[in-house]
Amino acid sequence: MERCSLADSIPREPSRAFGPCIAVILFYLLWFRWKDPSTEATLLMGGGVAILTWLTYMASSYSGEGSKLHGLAPIIERMPSITKPDGHVHFRTKMTWTLGILILYFALTNVTMYGLGSDTVDLFVQYRAILAGASGSLMHLGIGPIVTGSIIMQLFTGAKIINLNLQDAKDKAIYQGTQKVLVVVMIFVESIPQVFGFLEPSATVVGELGLTWARMAIITQLIIGSYLVFLMDEVVSKWGIGSGISLFIAAGVSQALFTGTLNWEPAPGTTDPNSPPTGTIPMVIWYIMNSSSRELMQGGYEAMLLAPPNPVVALVGTLVVFFVVVYVESSRIELPLAHGRVRGARGRYPIRLIYASNIPVILMAALLANVNMFAMLFWSHPTMSKWPIIGHNWMIGAFDVSQGNPVPTMGAAYYLNRINGMQDWFLPLASPKYESYMIIGGVSHEPYQLVLHIIVYMGVMILGSMMFAKFWIETTNMGPQAVAKQIQGSGMQIPGFRRDPRIVEKVLERYIPTVTVFSGAIVGLLAAGADMVGTTGQSSGTGVLLTVGIMIRMYEQIGKEQMMEMHPVLRQFFGEE
């Protein structure tokens, strides 16, 4: 009854929704006339358009004050979600939930999707470490839809396309709820196109179920797996420690680093019994034990230091990133505070050098992963490659899929693609004997193209991280105005200044905007620089950067939880009860 009354209480004017809904339906009719699709494609697209039309009506028919997104409130309240705990959750319970979800995540990454053929193409192969997924498993999409939904909401809110005041509790609830709806939409958007051309079902399953139902089975598994990730992230956020997204990224990257450093097996598909191991440390030991001094001088040392997949330089680069991130994470500006009523009570408000944490890099990497995916779809998808102008356009991105995984060879997708170690740029530029590394997917590249690739990739990573850092602090109440209210609400003030939130805000504006931009630039530079040097286990510089930052914050969070268990009075200070 309460839900019905809530839906009825939202002011609506159906005539406002007439135009937007007709536009969505007209788009479907134009698509049907142009494509002349099969029956199953018509039904699948029709179902999606029906849902989109319903969402369009709910939003555009809202006639109350504030953003049109308030019209989605009935849908948001009916969405399945994890219940928040009523009070304080004990540390042991939080650790149990966190470890349980982590074990479940690893289990699901080893559950292969039913009916999937062997000749599949992984559109996210370059970004597996960041998207926390496993190719061909229920976790195939990983955290991609969640992060993509967050990117869209942040861009729209930052550009003032969405009129929401995130300082207001009601608007913030609508923002978070709309993001959940958008995540579900992105699950469908990222699942369906992949099945038609890349995640093809096996011939056996097609013979048993038919092509249509075999594809539907794979789509269903992708949707279920992605929604499970979404729910597991909520469980960790509400009942565990940290966030599920961070936990899954750290787990996947740690696994890649461990195997890349200590794997004693030769590279997959190697038939030569005398091949060196792929792990960095076993590979060095193998060369020392099986090579003479002359062989080491003639190429052994070079192979150990520079040859992919896990050279010594990559291990050194991983360690450098680790120590730099630890140092930068510990650097902060401490703003002195004093209690307004309790004489002698003093404290400090720490403004971290990496103020926006590593979230901007996650968002930037996910954005590039989506750019790579859609560029690949426009190049070789059976339907999307036939679209006018953007279909099969090399300027957007040309790809080579002869090796089973898409490799961008030309266009914007090539210049935005992640640099994968020194073999992608340093070796071919340094020595003529590595010129074969300049041939990618049968396309030979000139030295200036490699240099331009470095400039574009690093520039996009740095500028994009700066942009997302600014958006992030505004959407998470970390801006000067929100922090000033928090300090004022705790009874603290800056010594030597009047006890006025506007004064505190002006002081914070000297530091927070500058530190935010700098933190975005530094994490973008670290991630791109580590990609250029290379990392063990092909975990990417972004993955290593994120993992180190996540583990540091996890350690701090565990320390805070233990402190609150020992001193329950602190719970009220941290807002736990």
Choice between 254 and 81, residue whose per-residue pLDDT is larger: 254
| Chain mean position to CA 248 | 11
pLDDT band at 2 (very low <50, low <70, confident <90, very high): very low
Neighbouring residues of 510: CB distance < 8 A, sequence distance ≥ 6: none
Indicate whether 367 pLDDT > 80.
yes
Statement: the pTM of the whole predicted model exceeds 0.75? yes
Helix and strand tally (H, E) in the chain? Answer: 24, 7
Mean pLDDT value of segment 329-334:
82
Q: What is the mean pLDDT of the chain?
A: 83
The ranges assigned to domains in the chain are: 1-78
Query: 131: exposed, middle or buried (C-beta count within 10 Å: 0-12, 13-18, 19+)?
Result: buried
Indicate whether 144 pLDDT > 90.
no
pLDDT band at 216 (very low <50, low <70, confident <90, very high): confident
**pLDDT tens, residue by residue, 79-133:** 888 888 887 788 889 999 999 999 999 999 999 898 888 777 777 777 787 788 8
Distance CA 517, CA 360 (A): 11
Q: What is 387-444 written as a DSSP string?
A: STTTTT-TTT-EEE-TTSS-EEEEHHHHHHSPP-SGGGTHHHHH-GGGGGGGEETTEE
Choice between 7 and 297, residue whose per-residue pLDDT is larger: 297
Nearest to residue 399, comparing CAs of 540, 542, 198?
198
**pLDDT tens, residue by residue, 397-425:** 998 876 667 788 999 999 998 888 888 88
Structure token digits, residue 502: 């506007």
